[in-house]
Structures are given as C-alpha cells and as structure tokens.
C-alpha cells in the first residue's frame, strides 16, 4: 500500500512520464515473466520499474547468475527501488539512452527486456526511437515483454504501438487479460 501511494504521488508530479495511477498487480507481473526461458537469459534489463511490481517477479524467477539492470526516470522512485532491492543495479535515467547506458555498464547484448513504460500516451516518433534502440540491443534470440491497458488500445498511441510491435518483431503474442489489475491489462510477448 505504501508503494501505491508513493506511485500516486509520482503520477501527480509527472502524469505523462508515469502514465498510471497505481502499480501493476502480481498477476500482471506473472504474465510478464512466466513465458521467458530464463535458462537462456544472462542479462535482463527492466524499463520503468516504478515501485518494483515487476522487479520482484524478475528476482523470483531469474537464475542467480543472471545480471539485472533496471532503468527508472524518476530519481525518487529509482532511489527507493535501489534501497529496497540492493541486488539490482538501478540506473536513474531514460531508456531513450539505452545504448549509452549499456555501453557504460559493459553490456554488449540484452537477453530479456521487461518493460513497464506507458507506451500508449507517447507519440509514435518517441515509441519508434526507443523501440529501434531496444531492438538493436536485444540478442538475436532475446525476449521483449511489455504491457498495455485494455482501454489504452482505443487511444491513437496504443494503436500505433501495436502496429509498431508487429513491424519490429516477427513474433508478437498477447497473454490473457488480467482483470484484477487496475485497470485491466495484458502482456505483449515478443521475439525477434
């Protein structure tokens, strides 16, 4: 609950960055990570961890040896996440700089991206530049997973993002809808 209010405060400070009023549920977090073959993942990067709804699920699932970097734009959320999860390398910054961030941290390729960004409220050009850089950093047999709110599919940004995923990835699947998420959402599961 405390994380929920911290998240809400960040949303009120910066609605267009945070893009949600409440953290994702454990049900949605499971839909994000359960389909990945973690035995093939040496490096996972989480985009926009917020208060850590997916961070916990990643930590519970990934093998011990797998490196875990999380990139969060909000300095307040990033500092709090780093304090709660010292085993995660938390970077305060924007995933728009994913190539530089990987370079600075000695990461040549990412095997899995678990992404919590609010794509549907962004312009197609911002979506495209982040996705292009992400695709460049993703291993040939990597995993990309993100989520969408059902109502977000009605927004122009949500529709543009669905088209972009189909353009960038040969394989794009959707999980079942998690109705007990606030609001209901599903995971996109993409492979290069």
Ligand X SMILES: C[S@@+](CC[C@H](N)C(=O)[O-])C[C@H]1O[C@@H](n2cnc3c(N)ncnc32)[C@H](O)[C@@H]1O
Q: Name the residues that contact ligand X, by CB under 6 A.
A: 17-20, 23-24, 47-50, 53-54, 71-74, 77, 94-96, 116-118
Q: Compare residues 43 and 134 and give the one whose CB is closer to ligand X.
A: 134
User: How far, rounded to the nearest angstrom, does the alpha carbon of residue 50 sit from its chain's CA centroid?
Assistant: 9
In the sheet with 110-115, reading across from the earlier edge strand, the strands are 89-92, 67-72, 43-47, 110-115, 138-149, 185-191, 171-174
Find the shortest distance in angstroms from Cβ 147 to ligand X.
7
Q: Compare residues 30 and 40 and give the one whose CB is closer to ligand X.
A: 30
Find the shortest distance in angstroms from Cβ 170 to ligand X.
26
Q: Compare residues 66 and 77 and give the one whose CB is closer to ligand X.
A: 77
Pairing of strands 138-149, 89-92: unpaired
Find the shortest distance in angstroms from Cβ 11 to ligand X.
8
Q: Compare residues 16 and 87 and give the one whose CB is closer to ligand X.
A: 16
Find the shortest distance in angstroms from Cβ 168 to ligand X.
18
- As a whole number of angstroms, the distance between CA 32 and CA 146 comes to 7
Q: How far is CA 9 from CA 18, 51, 141, in A?
A: 10, 12, 38
């Amino acid at each position: 609950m405390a994380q929920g209010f911290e998240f809400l405060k960040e949303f009120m400070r910066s609605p267009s960055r945070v893009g949600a009023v409440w953290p994702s549920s454990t049900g949605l977090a499971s839909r994000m990570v359960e389909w990945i073959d973690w035995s093939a993942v040496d490096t996972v990067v989480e985009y926009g961890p917020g208060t850590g709804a997916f961070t916990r699920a990643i930590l519970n699932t990934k093998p011990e040896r797998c490196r875990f970097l999380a990139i969060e734009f909000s300095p307040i959320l990033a500092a709090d996440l780093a304090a709660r999860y010292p085993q995660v390398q938390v970077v305060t910054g924007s995933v728009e700089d994913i190539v530089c961030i990987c370079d600075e941290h000695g990461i040549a390729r990412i095997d899995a991206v678990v992404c919590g960004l609010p794509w549907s409220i962004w312009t197609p050009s911002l979506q495209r530049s982040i996705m292009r850089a992400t695709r460049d950093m993703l291993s040939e047999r990597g995993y990309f997973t993100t989520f969408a709110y059902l109502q977000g599919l009605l927004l122009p940004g949500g529709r543009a993002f669905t088209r972009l995923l189909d353009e960038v990835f040969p394989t794009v699947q959707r999980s079942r809808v998690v109705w007990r998420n606030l609001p209901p959402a599903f995971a996109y599961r993409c492979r290069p």
